[in-house]
Each structure stands twice: as structure tokens, then as C-alpha cells.
Amino acid sequence: MALNFPSAPNAGDIHTVGSIIWKYNGKAWDSLYEPSAPAQVGLSNVDNTSDEDKPVSTAQQAALDALTKDDVGLDNVDNTSDMNKPVSTAQQAAIDAAGGGSSFDQDLNTTDSPTFATLTTTDTIATDVYASTVSTGDLDASGTVTAGGFIGTPQTLTDAATITYDLADGHNAKVTLTASRTLSLPSNLAEGASGVLTITQDGTGGHGLTLASGWFVSAGALADISALGASEQAQITWYAYASNKVNATILPLQ
């Protein structure tokens, strides 16, 4: 809209154009009143709102409401929680290929799976199980596997000048002293092996025990054994920290 002002105004002259009042300041015309300024510049529908506070328009909201999973490239996705997701076709194929089936059932006693006899306290797991079956790629046990060297009745060592202790017959053991003796380092010893040896004095008591090379006493003392009276007992708890070194703790029993 063109504005036409008087050609020779004097300072203080007033001129009205539409709803806007202008006043001449001696050099230029100043606007005194703009009741509909946005409308004057063609922005009657515009609010003076910062970008941060602008609302979602009606058209924008309608467009958002109309969005589907196809619009964002997820047409094959179901709105299923992680806990309720099924096993995928690829996952089931991998399970089936591994021989597990849908319920992971597997017959371990098939003709192509080796079996071994029930182990007893005189069998060695390292020899009778691992060496004979693991190399085949199939480990199958029928019956009951009993590791007598670790649980169950302790083996009885023979009382002699030098007492031998074979771990193939069991890790836990007991012996009754009828005289002062020497205890050999256990045979079939491997790093990490452990056990308990119970020492019982005979009806006389007072017999000493010497430990062969490779034994190391970290708690208690051999004197605790020789100090035992008739039929009294002590316990040697041991652990092999190397294939030829055994740490022992000696504890008199009540």
C-alpha cells in the first residue's frame, strides 16, 4: 500500500493513513499508533512465538498421526516385546543343525556314542574317562559315575616304615600308626589335587611322623602328631600347588 504524505509539512503536523497516525518530526514522519501492525504487513495469522515454544500445527499433527511402520521402512517389524519374541526361522535352523531339535533333546546312548563302565573308587577319571572318550568328540556315560578319590569312604593306607599314598586309590585316606613312620609324597600327584589324611595313634600312642621331600607344612606341626596319646587322631589337609609339591595343614582332632 502506497503512503501519500503532504508535500510541505511543518514539524508537529499530523497525518492519518487508514488506522495509522503519523507525526512529522521536522525531518521525517513517525508512526504514532499501530493497532493492527501484523495485519498491516499481511501477517494477521502469525503469533509472536519463539521457535522453542511453537506448537505442533494441525497439519503437522495430522501427518504424524498418519505415519505407519511402512513409512519408516519397518514394514516387516511386529510390535512384540523382547520377552515374547519367537524363535526366528534362522535361529531354529541353527538349533536344528546343531542337533538340538526344538526342545534340545539328544540321545547320548546311540550306537555312535562310546560308553564306559561305571567308575569305582579304584578307577581314575583322567584315564578311564577323558583319555578314552574325549578324543572321539563324543562323551557318553551310562550308569553311575562315582569319583571315589574325592568323596566317599577314604582309602586305608598300609602302616609301614614308609607309608605310601597312591591317589589312584582315592585322595582321602586314613592310617593307624603302630610306630614312628615316614609318609611318602603321594603318587599320581598332579597340580591342583587335594585331600585329607587322618592319622590315628594305636593303643600306645606317641608315635612320630616324618614327611618325605615335597611336603611343606604351613600350619600346625609334626610335633602335634607325636604328642597324641593312645587312639587319638590328627588330620593332615593338603593341596598340591605343583606336581611334586604339597602344602599341608596339621590339626589335632578332638
What are the pLDDT digits (tens) for 110-132?
Answer: 455 555 555 554 444 444 444 44
Residue 81 grid cell: 516385546
**Residue 213 DSSP label:** T
Across the range 229-240, mean pLDDT stands at 95
Residue 66 to residues 59, 63, 73, 104, 158, Cα–Cα distance (Å): 11, 5, 15, 45, 90
Q: What is the mean pLDDT of the chain?
A: 81
Residues 6 or more apart from 160 whose CB is under 8 A from it?
181
DSSP per-residue letters across 41-102: TT-TT-----GGGPPPPHHHHHHHHT--GGGGT-TT-----GGGPPPPHHHHHHHHHTT-TT
Residue 39 sits at φ, ψ, to 5 deg, of -65, -35
- Evaluate if pTM is beyond 0.85: no
Cα angle 172, 148, 194; round to 5: 40
Residues 6 or more apart from 105 whose CB is under 8 A from it?
none
Is a pLDDT exceeding 60 seen at residue 89? yes
Give the C-alpha separation, 244 to 11, whole Å: 118
Nearest-CA neighbor of 5 among 22, 19, 20? 22
**Residue 139 DSSP label:** -
pLDDT tens digit string along 134-190? 444 554 545 544 444 445 689 999 999 999 999 999 999 999 999 999 999 999 999
Give the C-alpha separation, 88 to 94, whole Å: 10
Q: What is the pLDDT of residue 239?
A: 95
pLDDT tens digit string along 182-230? 999 999 999 999 999 999 999 999 999 999 999 999 999 999 999 999 9
pLDDT tens digit string along 18-77? 778 888 998 998 887 655 567 667 777 888 888 888 998 999 999 889 988 888 888 888
Question: 62: alpha, beta or left, given left = phi > 0 and alpha = psi -120 to 50?
Answer: alpha
Q: pLDDT higher for 242 or 145?
A: 242
Q: What is the pLDDT of residue 235?
A: 96
Q: What is the pLDDT of residue 145?
A: 47
Task: Work out the percent of the chain whose per-residue pLDDT is above 70.
Answer: 75
Q: pLDDT confidence of 97, banded at 50, 70, 90? A: confident
Q: What is the pLDDT of residue 22?
A: 87
